[in-house]
């Protein structure tokens, strides 16, 4: 299997398989974190207020969802701005860089993380002539490259 290189670059772009497996691993990590958070929130609520009513369940679900979105955003911002990798990228041997190959700026990472919440953003990976670059890469000017 040959490595894809970005046009006008010596950087080896991560394959769609690597990108998908990275996405899967990061989502498993986030699922576990958010599950533990939601479970802890529920236990704390029960400890303070007693049994949960039906109307309280809906409010708790909304709060847990909002906290989960914040945790997801923070996970990507903290991991990628400090190390250029997430746990998924670490396992898959990839990292995020600016289009010129340098370490991405904090504002690029913020933009990248925000773009992940664009509806249907995952479909932006299709139709890029073999280069798996989604909107969360193209909009902030980043790419994911192979590190090994």
Give residue-wise pLDDT tens across range 19-67: 889 999 999 999 999 999 989 988 998 999 899 888 888 888 899 899 9
Q: What is the pTM of this model?
A: 0.84
Q: Report the pLDDT value the prediction gives residue 6, as an integer from 0 to 100.
A: 47
pLDDT digits (tens, 9 = 90+) for 92-140: 999 999 999 999 999 999 999 999 999 988 777 776 665 667 889 989 9
Confidence category of residue 77, pLDDT binned at 50, 70, 90: very high
Q: Report the pLDDT value the prediction gives residue 8, as an integer from 0 to 100.
A: 44
Query: Domain-by-domain residue ranges, the chain?
Result: 4-119+130-146
Q: In sequence order, what DSSP letters do the residues of the chain get, joined into one string?
A: -PPEE-TT---EEPPHHHHHHHHHHHHHHHHHHHHHHHHHHHHHHHHHH-SPPHHHHHHHHHHHHHHHHHHHHHHHHHHHHHHS--HHHHHHTEEEEETTSSPPPHHHHHHHHHHTTSTTGGGGGTTSTT----HHHHTTTEEEEE--
Q: Report the pLDDT value the prediction gives residue 125, as an integer from 0 to 100.
A: 73
């Amino acid at each position: 299997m040959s490595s894809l290189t970005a046009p006008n670059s010596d950087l080896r772009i991560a394959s769609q398989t690597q990108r998908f497996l990275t996405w899967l691993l990061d989502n498993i990590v986030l699922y576990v974190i958010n599950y533990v958070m939601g479970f802890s929130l529920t236990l704390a609520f029960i400890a303070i207020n007693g049994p949960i009513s039906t109307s309280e369940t809906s409010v708790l679900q909304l709060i847990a969802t909002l906290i989960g979105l914040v945790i997801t955003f923070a996970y990507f911002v903290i991991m990628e701005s400090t190390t250029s990798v997430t746990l998924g990228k670490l396992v898959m041997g990839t990292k995020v860089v600016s289009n010129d190959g340098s370490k991405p700026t904090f504002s690029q990472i913020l933009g990248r993380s925000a773009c992940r919440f664009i509806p249907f953003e995952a479909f932006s990976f299709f139709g890029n002539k073999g280069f798996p670059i989604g909107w969360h890469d193209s909009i902030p000017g980043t790419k994911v490259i192979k590190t090994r």
